[in-house]
Chains A and B, each alone.
Chain A
Amino acid sequence: MKQKIFIRDLLDLPGDIDLRLTALTGEIGLDKEIEVADVNRPGLTLSGFYDFFASDRIQIFGKGENAYLDSLSSADAEKSLAKFFEYDVFCCVFTHNVFPSKMFIDLARKKNIPVMVTELNTTQFISQVTHIVEEAQAPVVSIHGTLADVYGFGCLIMGKSGVGKSETALELIERGHRLVADDIVEIKRIEDSMLVGQGSPIIKHHIEIRGLGIINVREVFGIRSVRNSKRIEIIVTLEEWDSNKSYDRLGIDEKHFSILGIDVPHIVIPVRPGRNIPVIVETAALNQRLKKMGVHSARELDKRLQDWMKMESNRNG
């Protein structure tokens, strides 16, 4: 599922980012959906070259465009802008807090095209708006599981209802790790290369423990026990021990689990009374970190064994 973002959303963004935008054309066109994250600098277009004019993107009027429009006589500027607005222009943003001429606003208003001004400079605005739109449009999926930050490594714990995901999370919190989300994890694919998970806004940082009910982790364990979002770097599936199934004893081959088309290292941990699952999850996270740094425990032991066997056979032969 993909999410939508509208021009109106840019004016009032949740979180820390503020584009410092003001709409100059009132409510006009604010409900248009932003479909492409790319922007366009219409310098060439204004000077009369209309091939490849990407009118469906946000048009950025920076210092260059403004200087060009200022250099024209008012008749020439009107001619240039009249041609410009013949196209179905998506919206115009003026950077550096430079306000467009009244003629510009009147022409845009006639065609129902929103015009905005930002206090940011052109580079800042372009990089931030691209980032915001890309993130808003990132494909999202919601998964039944628990996400925790274990030694700085995003660990997604999956498994059937009642297998002990929440209890594992509780023990991880108690051991100093952080909870991101319990039960429902909203996962976003960002820049086609990584998965970032967070909790649903309503039940954020709450956890349900059979017998206790709903616990507010942030209030009970304090601010150090939670975080808002985390990149998912390992997936751990808990399942009830099945004596007919053979479990990985070596860990030489890496298995993966695919979410939104991205493969994440995956391990399956059989649950049985007496197995300390949180410690196993911790160790899995540490081992995965080690692998990422180029140390592969199982493969290295195997290599040592093979070297030793070679030596032995040379001695005997």
Chain B
Amino acid sequence: MVEKEFVVQSDAGIHARPASMLVKLAMGFPCEVFIEKDGVEANAKSIMGVLSLAITQGSKLIIRAVGEKEEEACTQLLELFKSDFK
């Protein structure tokens, strides 16, 4: 299991479009990927799950991946957050 903790900088928050980019990226990995915000965990491969977290600028998140290619999944998701979904 790999875990990465960080604070969201993107000022628009994770609305529908960024969420779909995030899910698309997570779907590409064989491992299970989760995003946790304030103790609530959502499956990163589920668009509804990601949307329900209502991630905004300043949200403290933990990305957790379990299984094959877990390290790579965590790193790439983190980069997507840093790239501001552009």
**CB within 8 Å of B: which residues of A?**
1, 142, 144, 161-162, 182-184, 200, 202-203, 206-208, 214
A142–B37 CA distance with the chains assembled, in angstroms: 12
Knowing A1-B39, A142-B41, A184-B42 are in contact, say whether A208-B52 is a contact too (CB < 8 A).
Answer: no
- Would you mind naming 8 contact pairs between A and B with Cβ atoms under 8 Å apart? A144-B49, A184-B52, A200-B52, A202-B51, A202-B52, A202-B54, A206-B48, A208-B48
Chain B binding site: helix, strand, loop or mixed by DSSP? mixed
Q: A183 to B39, Cβ gap below 8 A?
A: no
Q: Which of B39-59 contact A (CB under 8 A)?
A: 39-43, 45-49, 51-52, 54
Q: Which residue of A lies closest to B39 (CB)?
A: A1
Q: Which of A161, A162, A202 has the most CB of B within 10 A?
A: A161
A1–B41 CA distance with the chains assembled, in angstroms: 12
**CB within 8 Å of A: which residues of B?**
16, 39-43, 45-49, 51-52, 54
Q: B49 to A184, Cβ gap below 8 A?
A: yes
Knowing A1-B39, A161-B43 are in contact, say whether A183-B54 is a contact too (CB < 8 A).
Answer: no
Q: Which of B39, B45, B48 has the most CB of A within 10 A?
A: B48
Interchain nearest-CB distance for A48 vs B (Å) = 46
Q: B52 to A161, Cβ gap below 8 A?
A: no
Knowing A142-B40, A142-B41 are in contact, say whether A203-B46 is a contact too (CB < 8 A).
Answer: no
- Enumerate chain A residues within 8 angstroms of B39, measured Cβ to Cβ: 1
- Knowing that A183-B46, A184-B49, A202-B51 touch, tell me 20 more A-B residue pairs with CB under 8 angstroms: A1-B39, A1-B40, A142-B41, A142-B42, A144-B43, A144-B46, A144-B49, A161-B43, A161-B45, A161-B46, A183-B43, A183-B52, A184-B46, A184-B48, A184-B52, A200-B52, A203-B52, A208-B46, A208-B48, A214-B48
Interchain nearest-CB distance for B11 vs A (Å) = 19
A183–B53 CA distance with the chains assembled, in angstroms: 12
Interchain nearest-CB distance for B18 vs A (Å) = 15
A100–B48 CA distance with the chains assembled, in angstroms: 51
A287–B16 CA distance with the chains assembled, in angstroms: 40
- Enumerate chain B residues within 8 angstroms of A202, measured Cβ to Cβ: 51-52, 54
A202–B55 CA distance with the chains assembled, in angstroms: 12
A200–B42 CA distance with the chains assembled, in angstroms: 11
Q: Which of A1, A184, A207 has the most CB of B within 10 A?
A: A184
Q: Which residue of A lies closest to B47 (CB)?
A: A208
Q: Which residue of A lies closest to B51 (CB)?
A: A203
Interchain nearest-CB distance for B44 vs A (Å) = 9
- Enumerate chain B residues within 8 angstroms of A206, measured Cβ to Cβ: 48
A288–B40 CA distance with the chains assembled, in angstroms: 31
Interchain nearest-CB distance for B1 vs A (Å) = 17
- Enumerate chain B residues within 8 angstroms of A161, measured Cβ to Cβ: 43, 45-46
Interchain nearest-CB distance for B30 vs A (Å) = 12
- Enumerate chain A residues within 8 angstroms of B47, measured Cβ to Cβ: 208, 214
Q: Which residue of B lies closest to A146 (CB)?
A: B48
A207–B52 CA distance with the chains assembled, in angstroms: 12
